[in-house]
Amino acid sequence: MNEKKSVLIGITGGIAAYKIATLVRLFKKAHWNVIVAMTKNAMEFITPLTFETLSGNPVITDSFERSLPVYGSMEHISLADSIDVFVCAPATGNIIAKAAAGLADDILSTTILALKKETPKIICPAMNVRMYENPATRDNLETLKKRGFIIIEPDAGELACGVEGKGRLPREEVIFAVTERETSGKALSGKKIIVTSGATVESIDPVRYITNHSSGKMGLAVAEECWRLGADVLLISGRDAVPSLTVPQERVTGASEMKEAVLRRLKEKGADLVVMTAAVADYTPEKTESRKIKKGEGGLTLSLKRTPDIISEIKKTSQVPVIGFAAESDNVVEYAREKLKKKGLSLIVANDITQKEGGFRSDFNHCYFVSMEETRELKRMSKRDIAGHLAGEIVLLFNRGR
């Protein structure tokens, strides 16, 4: 659980200001202390009362209008001193220009100028596409980047002004996730990790295919947790696996395609670790028919062949450590230990699929971390929590140099 970190959210005058209500709720749900500062223009879009109610803290609106500042007599300084991270969302062209120029003419810009060097500063521009692409805004953002500000690029899509283009405030979940990453301590910083997730899909003909029940939730949780801890993560996912809002994701269909994607990434960029969470099909049709198979009178026998074992293929050309996953219904730990040795894994996470309310598609699981040294049982918990424990093991693995 979060040790009650403090975030200062600066809201400026853009239509996306209303979305910050959801952002505040995400922070509160994760036990953050949230302080909101609003510019005059922001208050034209949404009232401070909304944020006072959601954050449980007084909202800062202007430096000179109140006779009694709430956060200390030199409010901008005491605020800047007390927070762990600063987020400006939505950030207008105006506040970006002021921050770049060092202007301080209201409580928000004054506080930005007073922020400590080491406080992560996250800027979420949201505006009309022409304003965003204006060389003045581009230069101001470059200046802020050079000074260590983190800029979350806006999304492309339909803008409030009716035109299509880049300028939409990114999803609240993305802003929250980036803030979590910037304040995590980044124990996996500099590490390149490949995570596979979901089920592979093996085509029989243009209509039918063979797959399995994996949803990709476990792989997603592992990838996002490693990313939160600062790793450079690529998620290679089966076609229908749950998407990530934050981690770059490459989609593949069959086991062979997943193998190719993993090996290509290893060759092109290298990796410090591969986590094979994907439920890779062990068999694929001998032949994929190019035309739809028409039904006949009798039954139909499909001839299947083995798929490549991706872990073995990795081991043929690379020394990279691999963490495997296994779904077992009996002799869970025993079978897992056999796979650990046979596949040369650093660790294997064995899921007990007989447990109620766990396994495929569920948000929960009951599993065992099995390594050569020990077996650790993780009683039923959320896949997010399992990913948290696994990321801890990954940090230890790197610290031990394996």
Q: How many residues make up the chain in this entry?
A: 402
Determine, following the binding rule CB under 6 A, whether residue 115 of this chain makes contact with ligand CTP. no
State which of positions 241-280 bind ligand CTP (CB under 6 A). 255, 276, 278, 280
Q: Which residues fall within 8 angstroms of residue 202, CB to CB, at 6 or more apart?
A: 209, 210, 211, 254, 255, 281, 283, 284, 285, 307
List Cβ neighbours of 163 (8 Å cut-off, separation of 6 or more): 128, 129
Options 327, 332, 350, 353; binder of ligand CTP; rule CB under 6 A: 327
Phi and psi torsions of 6, nearest 5°: -110, 130
Q: 8 or 226: whose CB is closer to ligand CTP?
A: 226
326 binds ligand CTP (CB under 6 A): yes
Based on CB atoms, which residue is closest to ligand CTP, 287 or 342?
342
Q: Which residue has the tokens 């100028």?
A: 113
Q: Mark the segment that binds ligand CTP (CB under 6 A) among 99-107, 225-233, 304-312, 353-361.
A: 304-312
The least distance separating ligand CTP from the CB of residue 181, rounded to whole angstroms, comes to 26
Q: Which residues contact 306 (CB under 8 A, 6 or more apart)?
A: 282, 283, 284
Catalytic-residue membership of 88: no
Is 353 within 8 Å of 305 (Cβ atoms)? no
Total residues interacting with ligand CTP, rule: CB under 6 A: 14
What is residue 395's three-state secondary structure? helix
Sole window of 52-60, 148-156, 236-244, 303-311 interacting with ligand CTP (rule: CB under 6 A):
303-311
DSSP letter at 279 equals B
Min dist. Cβ of residue 367 to ligand CTP (A):
13
315 binds ligand CTP (CB under 6 A): no
The CA distance from 109 to 34, in Å, is 18
CB of 379 to ligand CTP, least distance (A): 21
Residues of the shown chain interacting with ligand CTP in the complex, contacts defined by CB under 6 A: 255, 276, 278, 280, 282, 307, 309-311, 324-327, 339
Residues with a known catalytic role: 161
